[in-house]
Amino acid sequence: MNKIVSIIVLIFLISCGKETEDDVLQVMEGTGIVWLSGGLMYCATQFRMENGDTLIPNQFTSDLVKIKLENQVRLKYKELTFRESGCTIGKDCEIIEVKVID
């Protein structure tokens, strides 16, 4: 009986330490337009993606500040699991790369 409990505890400890694919934020790519909602500061700058998603960046780098409204852009980003912005719509994300499409 004691051996069975020890094996169960060992299996439990090993399984808790493993990182699944869902735990790792995947880099995603897409195209969309830059849009200004006129809402709260953190929710104002948004990316309206062609797939219908609305992305809310969690940081404002010099690359993001230079982009004009309604420019079409290609993004590499990670969706965040925790909603940092407090916005009621959209998905919070970390922008990895942004390029304006001519």
CATH number of the domain that residue 89 is part of: 2.40.50.500
Q: Is residue 10 in a domain?
A: no
Domain with 31, as residue range(s), is 21-100
Is 52 within the bounds of a domain?
Answer: yes
Answer whether residue 70 is part of any domain.
Answer: yes
pTM flag (> 0.75): no
**Residue 14, φ and ψ in degrees, nearest 5:** -65, -40
pLDDT band at 50 (very low <50, low <70, confident <90, very high): very high
| Structure confidence at residue 1 as a pLDDT band (50, 70, 90) | low
Query: Has residue 62 been placed in a domain?
Result: yes
Whole-angstrom distance, CA of residue 69 vs CA of residue 8: 57
How many distinct structural domains can be found in the chain?
Answer: 1
